[in-house]
Amino acid sequence: MINHQRSNKKGSDSSDTQARAHNLIHSRPKQMFFLTQRVARVTVLLALLSLFTVGCQPRQDADAIWQDYSKRLETVLNQPYLGAPLTPMALPKATVYEADTKTLSILQTLKLNHCALGQLIAERNSALGKVAPPSQRLIYHIRFIQLAPKCIETLDDADLIHTLTLGLEQKQQQALTMFRQMLTRDTSIKKRLFIGYDSLPLNEMHSGRVEFESALSQLNNIKEQIVAHSWHQIEIDNLEQTLAIFHRQPLLNQYLRSLALSVSQLTAVNDYLFNHQTLAACRLGHANRQQEILQNLFHKYYLGQTQAYLSQLNQLHYRLSQPMQRLFDGSVYQGYIEHHFSEQRHALPAQLKQQMRRHVQWWQDFRASCDIPPPEPQQTLSH
């Protein structure tokens, strides 16, 4: 009897074990499902938190950097800072130039049907050709110069040969003027020369620079080949692709604003500091806590942030200065471009360097009055 009970209990235990194993096996997929769901929810929440954190980080562009620096100076010196309004130079109005052209009769035009030049003239005389934008007019102009010589060689009509030859010479003489008109009237280029509302962020200072430099190089190549009369080396069919880079690339707008804003704000900051130089100087026998804060502010916010921004801006100026000046030399925009890119005394790059020297001089005078040693070499930024 006892053995029978033990046997029954043993059988019962075995059944319980099998049942638990069965439940465990069948419940595991559910557990794994809920675990996977929890992991997925946590992953989504972390991603959203990351996006939120990035979105809340301050944008380190010229506007934010100068506002931060000036407000901190105002707080330490406890004197109102008014700043300076940004008054950018106005973009000159471009003139419209209509090229003189030799007209062909309908009969003469029909005699050119066997030439690629004939098709080009027909496209130019179409309804769309008559309202073509400056870029398309330049493409037509250069293509005429490239196609006309070969077509003239196939003709036996003396009057037509004479008309086309004169027209070819005329277009060669007008080509540089047509190129400059394209530069000053193309909408993609014009909109990039206006100072916009956004300045360059510090961590995106060179974003798009390589693509923009490539566009400048291509336009300069066209200009140089026109000047050299190297007509058949001009890749004019790529002009629209080059102008598309100007259309989508805001680098130039942002550079112009960053430069103009930095000059105006640094000038205002310098005027503010020199006007309160006596207030900032150390006084013997006094606890100069304010001066210690000023010194820390200079190291952390000027050397560590503002000067870093100006250094990057100067590097961008170095890359764009010569190509921009070469491209717009001789155009109605030449003075405007020189104001923003040249090293002339009254140009913005020279003004910025002058104000940077003035700013450092103020801090040197401040350190001297407080007997503070100059910063270690590794704390300064190279230019």
Task: Tell me the range of 10-14, 41-45, 193-197, 347-351 where mean pLDDT is highest.
Answer: 347-351
pLDDT of residue 374: 66
pLDDT of residue 117: 92
Distance CA 383, CA 381 (A): 7
pLDDT of residue 57: 52
269-285 mean pLDDT = 88
Q: Quick one: tokens of 113?
A: 């049907």
pLDDT of residue 285: 61
Alpha helix positions (H), the chain: 2-56, 62-77, 106-110, 116-125, 127-130, 134-152, 158-185, 187-193, 209-227, 239-248, 251-275, 277-280, 289-297, 307-328, 334-341, 348-370
Write the CB contacts of 275 (distance below 8 Å, at least 6 apart in sequence): none
Distance CA 123, CA 112 (A): 13
CB 281 within 8 A of CB 370: yes
Q: Strand, helix or coil at 337?
A: helix
Distance CA 333, CA 329 (A): 8
- Does position 367 have pLDDT exceeding 70, yes or no? yes
33-45 mean pLDDT = 49
Q: What percent of the chain has pLDDT over 90?
A: 60
- Does position 66 have pLDDT exceeding 70, yes or no? yes
Better-scored residue on pLDDT, 38 or 334:
334
pLDDT of residue 42: 47
Least confident of 89-103, 125-139, 268-282: 89-103
End-to-end Cα separation, the chain, in angstroms: 101
Distance CA 141, CA 149 (A): 14
